[in-house]
Each structure stands twice: as C-alpha cells, then as structure tokens.
Amino acid sequence: MSTDPSPKVTHNRYRPFIVLAVLSLLLCGLAFPLLVTGVAQVAFPAQADGSLATLPNGRVVGSYLIDNGFSQPIFFHGRNETNPANASASGVDPDITVAQAMAQVQTIHNSTGISESDLTALVVGHEEGTLWIFGDPYVNVLELNLALITAYPSVYPAYN
C-alpha cells in the first residue's frame, strides 16, 4: 500500500499558504501603500509630492530633500563625493556644513561679483543647527541658491 498522497490532496494542502501569500501581497504591497499615500496627500501635500522648490517664476527646480546637482560656479554646490571627508552616506544629501559653504564664497564672488560679506551673511542666515552636540551646523544648498536668485535678480536673470 502506497503512503504517497494523491495530487488532489497535495494541492489542497498548499492552498491556504498560496491564498495567504496572495492576500499578504495585495494588502502589504498594494492596499497599505495606496492608503498611506492617500493619507499623506491629504494631510501633507507638499511633503508627499517631494518638498519641491520653485523659482520666483513658478518653475520647479528641485527638492529640498536631495542634492540637486548644481554645477555652475555661480551657485553653491553640494558635497564633493570625490573627497571622502565631505562625502555623504547616500550621495544625495542636500546639506553641506557651514564650513563647506564658506569655502565656496570666494568662487561665487569671483563668478558673480556679489560681495563676499553679502555671501557670508547669506550662509550664516541659512545656518541650521543639529541635535545638541551631534554633528556640525549645516545649510541646505537649494535654499541657499534660491536665496541668491531672489536677492540678486540682476545676477540671475535667467532664473527670475
């Protein structure tokens, strides 16, 4: 006498696991993310859309949450990923230390003619703190560059 279960019995034995897997996939992979996205869109629309930054003319130029890849010498730049001392873990960190921003003041002054004292004041005015003693004070590169565009429209006419 054979002890092997028939194919029908084997099929019935796995059916609860398959149903559970499909239901879990639908709930956790589809329903829950859609619910969270919907709630976020209602409760926090700007953040749910990516915290987008716009120019005075209404054009979207980036997100406050990631590095926006500024490369022209007339703007502040994000972290230099080729320098391990300045590198961020993800490579898309939107912030730089105040010291890194101050190191760029001379280049921006040479490229735009904006006084170094005005650029320094702009950096200091956008300085954000850290939690207690952890980390260095920092500035958001996109916020700095938008402040430059707003404060000096004659230097940045293409962006107004």
Task: List the chain domain ranges.
Answer: 7-46, 51-159
135-151, pLDDT tens digit by residue?
888 999 999 999 999 99
Residue 55, pLDDT score:
81
Task: Encode 93-126: b = buried (16+ Cβ within 10 Å), e = exposed.
Answer: bbbbbbebbbebbeebbeebebeeeebeebbeeb
Q: Write the single-letter amino acid at 44.
A: F
Q: In the structure encoding, which two tokens stand for residue 69, read together? A: 């890849």
Residue 58 gets the label, from left (phi > 0), alpha (psi -120 to 50) or beta, of: left
The reported pTM is 0.70
pLDDT, tens only, 56-106: 788 888 888 888 878 899 999 987 655 555 555 666 778 899 999 999 999
Q: Specify whether the CB–CB gap between 108 and 74 falls below 8 A.
A: yes
pLDDT value, residue 7 = 58
- Cβ atoms of 140 and 132 within 8 Å: the answer is no
| Model confidence band, residue 31 (pLDDT cutoffs 50, 70, 90) | very high
**CB-based contacts of 74, cutoff 8 Å, min separation 6:** 108, 111, 112, 148, 155, 156
